[in-house]
Structure formats: C-alpha cells, structure tokens
Structure 1
Amino acid sequence: MQSDNGRATESELREQGTNERILSADSSADRQQGDIVKYPKWNVGTNLLEWIGVMPDLKYTTWASNVHGEFYFKKQYSVLLSAAYSEHHYSHGDKFQGFTSYIVEPRYWLRKDATFQGFFGGIYGQLGDYNDIDLERKYTGHFWGAGLSAGYLYPVWRGLAVEFNIRAGYRSTEVKK
C-alpha cells in the first residue's frame, strides 16, 4: 500500500515489518543530533588541569603531560586507562617536580542506550612514583591508591566532549627524604 505521493505511510511500513527510516519534514533536528557521536567504541582524551599545572590537591606546580584512552562495551560499561608524566624545574629553577602516574578505572554508565554520556560511577586503581624537591626538602618515593569515582560526560560537538570526574579513596605513599 502507498499513499497518494507514491510513498508508503509510516503505519504501512510498520505493518510490513520493514526497518526503513521515515524522514520527517523537519530533518534539521536529525542533522544536529548527527553531529554528536552516538555509539562510541573508544575515545582518547587528556586532563586540561594537569596540562596547566593544577594538581589534585588544587595547588599550582608545573605542567604535566597526560593522555587517556577509554574503551566501551556492553552498552553500559567502559574501562579508562590513563598515564601522566612530569619532570620539570619551576619557580626560577628552585623547585623540581617529577612524577609518573598510571590509572585503571572500570566504569558503569547509568544510561542503558550505549551512548556513554551522562552520569557514571566506577572504581579506580593508581600506581606511580614521584620526586618533589625544593631548597628545604627533597622527597622521593612510590605510591599506589584505590577508591571510587563518579562523574558526568557531556558531548559538545562531533567527537568532542567535556567530562567532570571526582575520585575519593585511599593512597599509600612510601616517602624517602
């Protein structure tokens, strides 16, 4: 069955059991939504606060290069792998900060539609080492930590998104002076 314009109506297509998509007269909303990646398999990102030198305790030191990759599976699960590195003198050469940090964070996404956006919760594990040197002290050592995380991911445009994340947990640090 077809309508007067030669095209099958939506109810007729439903009756036939086809999966053809009906285009609405106003497809601008479809195009705007098409700019967002709806069903990602993986992503690559960075932490801008670490690049400008803001550390987790909100103190400013020196910049740290960092990168993360996240892999998505089973509509609501993902695993984030993160690495950070810094080895720089700052404050006119009086201070030095060097560290490496590696994080693994499995996540559970609250939305069940495989879009991997909105709220998520997870657990994380972290390993690393550090050197923190200034005129009065020299600290070096290794650390590890584990805890819970929660956050929100907001897609902005095409493959670009903004994520807000908070972590709380336990950290064990071996300090050598």
Structure 2
Amino acid sequence: MRLTQKRVAAVLSHLREYVQIPDSLIIVKATGIDWNGLSAMVEKDANCPAREEVLVILKEQPEWVFDAQNRIISGRKKQLMDLRGGVPYNYLSEKFFPELRNTTISLSYKNDTKDSQAERQEDENDIVKEHGSSLHPSSSEVAGLENEENDTSLSTPVPSSGHFSSADDKIQRLAIKTNFLYDAILMPSLEVEYRIDNRWSVAVEGSVAWWKRDSRHKYYQIATIVPEGRYWFRTRKPWHGHYVGLFAGGSWYDLENGGRGYKGEFFMTGLSYGYMFPISRFLSLETGLGVGFLHTSYEEYLPLDGHYVYQQTSKTNWVGPVKLKFSLVWRLWDKQERGSR
C-alpha cells in the first residue's frame, strides 16, 4: 500500500470513531505532489542548496517526460533527485516535504430536496478530497514515479470537517558509540555523533586511560579528544553506508613501564573513511580508519632514587594511519515531526 493510501486509511479510521456516513458518499482523490507549494517554500528559503537551479526545475521542467513509446523516462522529481548528487533534494526532503504531506477533509451537506440526480452527484464529489504525495525517493527513481498518482479510493465513514498533516518519518539524529579496540586496551572511549541531514554529520570522540602504579613506576595515562565532520554517501537509510570525514584532535599523555618515561602531548589531523551498518532497530556496528599527520612533543625522564629525572625533550612527526575504529553504535533521539490537527 502506497504512502497516500496509508495516510487516508489512518485518517478515516480516526474519523470512524465519531461519525457514521454511508460508504457510498465517500470519495477519495489523490492530487499528487504539491509542486506550487514546494516552489513557494524554496523561493522564501535563501539557504536552499542550488536554489536557482531547483526553481528552474520546479517551474520549467515537465512533471513527466515520455519516450517514443509513451513510457515515463524522467520528470520533475527525477531531475531534482539527480541535481548535484542529490544534495538539494535531500535538503528539500528534510525541511519541506513533511509539511507538504497532508490530508484535507471537507464535508458538504444540505437538506433533502427534490433535486435532480445530477445535482446530487455534483454535491457528493465535494464530500472528501485527499491530498498527498510520496516525496521521499523510492527504491526505483523512475518506475516509482509512474505510479505516484494511481492511489485507489478507500471506503470509510467520514466526520464533519478538519485538517490533518502527517509526516511520520522517525529521524534518529543522535548516535552514541564506544570503540571496542580502545576499550580492549583499557582506554574507555565515548563518541557522540549528530546527523545534520542525510548527507552531513558532526562527531566528537574522546578516550581516557588514567592508570598508574607509583611503586613500580608504571604509568598509563592518556586523554584524547577528536572532533570530526563527515559526509555520507547516498544510501537507502541514514546511518547505513559509507562516509568520508575530516578530523583534527589532540592528546595529553604520560607513559612509563618501569623504565624511561614519556610525558607530552600530540596534535593530529587527517581524513577518515568508514562504514556503518545496522544490527538491530537501534544498534549498529561501525568500522573506520583515519589517515593523516601527527606531531608530538614530549619530555623523556628516568625514575632514580624516588625521583623522576628529566633527560631531554624530543619531537616526532608521523604521516600514516592515526585512527582505527570498530565501534558499537546506539542510535537514539527519534525526532518525530508531525503536523497539526
């Protein structure tokens, strides 16, 4: 069942609790995508990516493009989805589409008279009108478009009047993670990632190990924090697929294993690549690798007669792998946007 049919069924099911009207009086009409409403919203939003190109498509591109055999091969929605890798379309999907999905119910009635059957039929045509569209991309960009407006009528009792808007997409915008690799070396880690939209997210990862045994001159103390911005490639669902990122971070450390010790800090920056896939409704696994530049400056010392004697200051530069990840991800904050009733 298509999205429009589901929306109609939900609204009529709600109304059935209050009013009884013969099924013969119910008429449902799917009017398709509200292109005029979308165009008006884009015109008012100066932050829309590729705004001028989007407006040209909305105003000048035909809703359907047919080949010589009268088959749909493209259209307005397809052009939007293909524009600049889908970035403008995802912006529209995130910001405008929920508001454009709506159901309008109107009731027309009059006292029983000797009006002709033609007049009665004309009045019945205005009983119920349903406006809806499936603006989110389907698994088939073109084939799915061909059936966009072929929703069938549903017979269910209808009440007086009202307006409903529905956008039932649950958006898991937040993810909390722990890196098993760091946890395994007794350096507990925590990462928080926020999804800005379907393509972009920001994350901050921190890890801390603060172990020491003074009697044996053993120190394993390190604290790291790494912010990162990520670009997600197009996938069927958010939080599922490949991404690339840009990160920069720093660390403070004191490392000694009974002999020469090293105390200092380092800075690193680079590019990351990763892949995340779900294992349940709220959990995912993520693997990733970060490659870049690391610079560290540290003091070397030796434990002598109960004191830590400074030896020298050293610096080291490194280019290569600087991050490795195998994380458990908990996706949460189901932000559910709904219209008014």
- TM-score where L is the length of structure 1: 0.71
What is the aligned counterpart of 1:51 among 183, 186, 200?
183
Partner of 1:42: 174
- Structure 2 residue ranges without an equivalent (≥5): 1-22, 24-28, 33-129, 135-150, 152-168, 301-341
* 1:96-131 deviation per Cα after TM superposition (whole angstroms, max 9, x unaligned): 210000000100000166613200001110111101
Once the two structures are aligned, what percentage of the paired residues are identical? 22
Of Structure 1 and Structure 2, the greater helix share is in 2
Report how far residue 38 of structure 1 moved: 6.6
2:171 match: secondary structure: coil
Report how far residue 172 of structure 1 moved: 0.6
**CA–CA separation in structure 2 for the residues paired with 1:173 and 1:145:** 9
Larger radius of gyration: 2
- The count of corresponding residues between Structure 1 and Structure 2 is 144
What is the aligned counterpart of 2:269 among 143, 146, 153?
146
Change (3 A) 1:131 1:85: same
1:18 aligns with 2:132: yes
What is the aligned counterpart of 1:118 among 232, 241, 244?
241
**CA–CA separation in structure 2 for the residues paired with 1:170 and 1:151:** 18
1:158 match: secondary structure: coil
Retained in 1: the 8 A contact 2:218–2:258?
A: yes
What is the aligned counterpart of 2:252 among 105, 126, 129?
129
- TM-score where L is the length of structure 2: 0.38
Change (3 A) 1:76 1:113: farther
**CA–CA separation in structure 2 for the residues paired with 1:121 and 1:38:** 25
- Structure 1 residue ranges without an equivalent (≥5): 1-5, 7-11, 23-36, 54-62
Amino acid at match of 2:271: L
Report how far residue 19 of structure 1 moved: 4.6
Retained in 2: the 8 A contact 1:39–1:116?
A: no
Partner of 2:211: 88
Of Structure 1 and Structure 2, the greater strand share is in 1
What is the aligned counterpart of 1:169 among 284, 292, 304?
292
